[in-house]
Structure 1
Amino acid sequence: MPEMPEVAGLVEFLRRKLVPDDGEPAVLSDVEIVSFSVLKTAGVPVESLRGLEVAAVERWGKFIAVQAGKFYLVIHLARAGWLRWSEEFKPGRLRPGKGVIALRVRCSTSAAPEAGFDVTEAGTKKSVAAYLVESLDQVPGVARLGPDALELDRDAFGAIIVGHRGQVKGLLRDQSVIAGIGNAYSDEILHAARLSPFTLVTSLDDEQVTTLYSSMQELLRSALEAASGRPAAELKDAKRRNMRVHGRAGESCPECGDTVREVSFADSALQYCPTCQTGGKPLADRRTSKFLK
């Protein structure tokens, strides 16, 4: 799932293409809804964007917002979505419901008159969402966003901790509490902070809160730096290369050499290092818990 650093990289990439510092802004020529499920709004017809100049490209949590005129095209890439840029699209509209493309945006830029981007989604579960609205508050996920993770200082983070009663991984992933962090970076942050993902927030002492905050800031800023300036096609690989435990079950922890383990759920999984995070004890996995002592 694209998280804050990758979405920020995509926003930076789109901004360079659509509203370049050294050229005229792109003009939107067409928006094609290829997957029937992708568009979540009906109040503003997609034809309203035709002929409008792009005014801005912004990130809100894990949402991408393209502003044109008084309208916003807001995209959430969900778990398996991505963005693919083309300098030249072939003429002709796509057939709805075919292939991985969910949405196509055609535009004319100073460098490429037939350019644009596709929003794609792998797999059969269709979760990518697009909203065409006049106000960002009309997008439910944006309206519910908590403060951006990188905009929090230590005191504000501590205040959030005081008001939360769940597990620490759930806290980090809750977009209404802290915006921008998902499954992957929460695994990485907790590994750096040497905390079990199932640690109750109410059990954290002041020193642990400070360590957790510092780990969050350092990891996200490092990931943002790694994503900055990269073309969209390279951002996924850059993310994978920098993961230390997430997605690395069965491999050696780079900190201590123990085997990275996994806990699976119905539709997701987390990874952690027992030595670094759980006192050497493996966490029960639903698929194998009967074998763990």
Structure 2
Amino acid sequence: MSGLSTVKLNDGVQVPVLGYGTGTALYQKEAKDSVKMAYSEAKMHHIDCAEFYANEESVGLALKELGVKREDVFITTKCGSDDPRKSLEKSLKLLGVDQVDLYLIHTPLLFKDTGLGKAWQTMEELQKEGKTKSIGVSNYRISDLEETLKVAKVTPSANQIEVHPYVLDKAQSLIDFCQSKGIHIESYGPLSSIVRHPGGSVDPVVKKIAQELGATDGQVLLKWAHQITHGGIVVTTSSKKERLEEQIKAFTDIKDLSAEQVQAIAEAGKKEHHRVFMQHMDE
């Protein structure tokens, strides 16, 4: 895989710290060319997919055309229906692989009628059968995790949630809960404060820290998301090679933010609240 450092999940699976997301900008769009560029040119070898994004087939085509060895790419995908088994079998076929590295339940809302416990038992079966190396969740609140953990024989390895300064006030207790249970956080939308809500209270603080570190604003926010989640995984995207290379350098060339810098961004974020995805997380 790429030269990026990895994060070790609670089941021993090693995940590249930075993932290339095929949602948001590529949602329901052809992703082949973007994935080929990200993998071969920017050397991002962790590809984050989802059934819900409706582009897994194009991701599979990208990997096939590149001639990627299965062991050289880390593939995450997410269940988009109330049947994790059916969803994973569909995803495996579209991606052209026999196994994914990390399989997540995309949202607990899929199972409000059937229950999270039953869904998780199916996830454990899929892992035991070798269809996925690791199993986790996405957009789970503390209450959702507690319900799951009541029946879990395997603790979820990851919880992929929206993380940026403008949601930290709502996310902090969840981040700390996951840390206490050995569940790694995967952050998505880490650049939302400058991409979707520019001009807010966070901007001047980030710019000041960027100058201090000799980094870009985006690199600071990627590092912040990694550090505020106790060394979690960060998922981001771009259609530009130069931007992806810049994002990778956040984890290869830029030193860690100090505790004071991390806290300064957190405090600035508390002055506003902007959630882009999954409004139920504010409940």
Bin for the TM-score computed over the shorter chain: under 0.3
Which has a greater percent of strand?
1
TM-score w.r.t. length of structure 2: 0.28
TM-score w.r.t. length of structure 1: 0.27
